[in-house]
Amino acid sequence: MKNQWFEFLFGRVTVKVSGKGIERFLNILIRNNLTIWNVKRHGTETITFTMRLRDALKIRHYAKGRECTISFLKRSGVPFLFKRLLKNSGFIIGAGLFFAIILFLSNVIWGIEVKGAKPATEYQIRKELDKMGVKIGKVQFFVNNVEGIQRKLTNNIGNLTWVGVELRGTTYHLQVVEKNEPEKPEQLAPQNLVAKKKATIVKMYIEKGQKAVDINDHVQPGQLLVSGVYGKEGQTEIVPAEGEVWGETWYKSHVEQPLETDFKVFDGREKQKHYLILGNFEIPVWGFGKLEFKEYETEKNVQKIRFLKWELPISFGNVTMRASEQITRTYTEKEAQEIALELAKKEIKSHLDEDAIIKDEKILHREMENGKVILDIHFKIIENIAVGQPIPKETNE
């Protein structure tokens, strides 16, 4: 008999027929298109065979008036398995509930450990995690993945150099590296302080060494500012020169600012979709229906589903679509010039030390071309121009 799996799906029955005229009975069944197979004889008046469940329901009709008795020996197939499951439904439901509870608890956040952070920083981190919804008792499906958590913590907490986030089981482990002001290294080798760029001296703070320039002096790159050599010839003392020499330096900047600028903004509307991921297949769970907005930005978050300490080959995905719109902002020439000036200041500051000060700026050239304000700007900067330069050994001779 072919297609045994198909017959198993719809059910099959092993039948025992006893009595006289069993051959004629089999012929009647076959003439009425009842399929039988595995026919076996047991003695002279008994046979067994297998037939479909739906045909077995008709067999007694054809047995009426025949000198034979029918009994059913074995039942197999999906309908009978389902019937057995219904009889044991309490056990099945209990096992299913137990599995569901364990699965749910395996995907709840039960611990958050922070290492490498000072108490104040750890408080900030936990407060920020609380804002993101990363808290004990929260289901992992509804929080950002570890990459998203790491990115937000780094962006929102200023005194973090790096934070590593790892989810092990039901606990988030955070390893933190804080921004520490580097301690000023002790200068063991003798050195001078020289100018790192062209400038006019405006102020000086000398801790060690002999100054070689005065305020209002013009200096060139590499020129000696503070000497680490004391005394007269033959009676000199060499020390590591230390201090700050502030000078007025000059920079030029070229910047362009369009009168019209296009950018995207979010209008507050959003839609979320939730789905299960099995391999390459996505099964929608929640968030059906069409979007009510045409332009949007998409943020996708995928969380692995765990059972106890094991990761299952199933993931829970969440997609957030935020409605956006294109905005064109038009500036007057004066507004565009102010924006261009601010951009130039930011660009200059990105190349300077944090303690440098912009003293003054002057527009050298201004023009309008192709809907843009074009500026050439001259900046006066006050900055520390002193850098260390080792003193050659022969200087002490």
Same domain, 236 and 347: yes
* Per-residue confidence (pLDDT) for residue 199, from 0 to 100: 93
Same domain, 151 and 129: yes
The tally of domains found in the chain comes to 4
Same domain, 356 and 218: yes
Which domain-ending residue is among 35, 63, 82? Answer: 82
Same domain, 278 and 371: no
Lookup: tokens for 119? 């108490």
Q: Residue 1 pLDDT > 50, yes or no?
A: no
Same domain, 310 and 338: no
106 located within any domain: no
* Per-residue confidence (pLDDT) for residue 395, from 0 to 100: 52
Q: How many CB atoms lie within 10 A of CB 50?
A: 21
* Per-residue confidence (pLDDT) for residue 215, from 0 to 100: 93
91 located within any domain: no
127 located within any domain: yes
* Per-residue confidence (pLDDT) for residue 378, from 0 to 100: 94
Q: Averaged over 371-387, what is the pLDDT? A: 92
Q: What is the pTM of this model?
A: 0.49
369 located within any domain: yes
Q: Averaged over 184-197, what is the pLDDT? A: 77
**pLDDT band at 184, cuts 50/70/90?**
low
96 located within any domain: no
E strand spans, 279-369: 281-286, 296-307, 310-330, 357-369
pLDDT digits (tens, 9 = 90+) for 9-63: 778 888 888 877 777 788 888 888 887 888 888 877 888 888 888 877 778 777 7
Spatial separation of the C-alpha atoms in residues 309 and 313, rounded to whole Å: 13
If you average pLDDT over every residue of the chain, what do you get? 83
Lookup: tokens for 159? 């005194």
Sequence-ordered list of residues with C-beta below 8 angstroms from that of 246, at least 6 positions apart, any chain? 201, 202, 203, 204, 382, 383, 384, 385
Same domain, 255 and 336: yes
Spatial separation of the C-alpha atoms in residues 228 and 217, rounded to whole Å: 20
89 located within any domain: no
Strands 111-115 and 171-178: parallel
Same domain, 71 and 212: no
DSSP tag of 181: P
DSSP tag of 277: E
Same domain, 201 and 319: no
Q: Residue 396 pLDDT > 70, yes or no?
A: no
238 located within any domain: yes
* Per-residue confidence (pLDDT) for residue 99, from 0 to 100: 82
Same domain, 245 and 339: yes
* Per-residue confidence (pLDDT) for residue 195, from 0 to 100: 92
* Per-residue confidence (pLDDT) for residue 379, from 0 to 100: 93
* Per-residue confidence (pLDDT) for residue 287, from 0 to 100: 79
* Per-residue confidence (pLDDT) for residue 23, from 0 to 100: 79
Sign of torsion, CA 93 98 103 108?
Answer: positive
β partners of residue 162: 177
* Per-residue confidence (pLDDT) for residue 150, from 0 to 100: 87
Lookup: tokens for 341? 């000036």
Q: How many CA atoms lie within 13 A of 294 on its CB side?
A: 2
* Per-residue confidence (pLDDT) for residue 185, from 0 to 100: 58
Domain that holds residue 269: 262-328
Same domain, 306 and 275: yes
Spatial separation of the C-alpha atoms in residues 43 and 257, rounded to whole Å: 104
Same domain, 271 and 396: no
* Per-residue confidence (pLDDT) for residue 116, from 0 to 100: 84
Which H or E run includes 351? none
Q: Averaged over 323-343, what is the pLDDT? A: 89
Nearest to 385 by CA among 360, 362, 353, 338: 353
101 located within any domain: no
Residue whose token pair is 């500012």:
225
Which domain-ending residue is among 82, 103, 135? Answer: 82
- Residue bearing the bigger pLDDT, 325 or 308: 325
Which domain-ending residue is among 132, 150, 178? Answer: 178
Q: Domain with 38 in it: what CATH number?
A: 3.30.70.2280
pLDDT digits (tens, 9 = 90+) for 251-300: 999 999 998 888 788 888 888 888 888 877 888 888 777 878 888 888 88
Spatial separation of the C-alpha atoms in residues 334 and 349, rounded to whole Å: 23
pLDDT digits (tens, 9 = 90+) for 124-183: 888 888 888 888 888 887 788 888 888 888 888 877 888 888 888 788 888 888 776 555
* Per-residue confidence (pLDDT) for residue 214, from 0 to 100: 92
Q: Domain with 147 in it: what CATH number?
A: 3.10.20.310
Same domain, 60 and 204: no
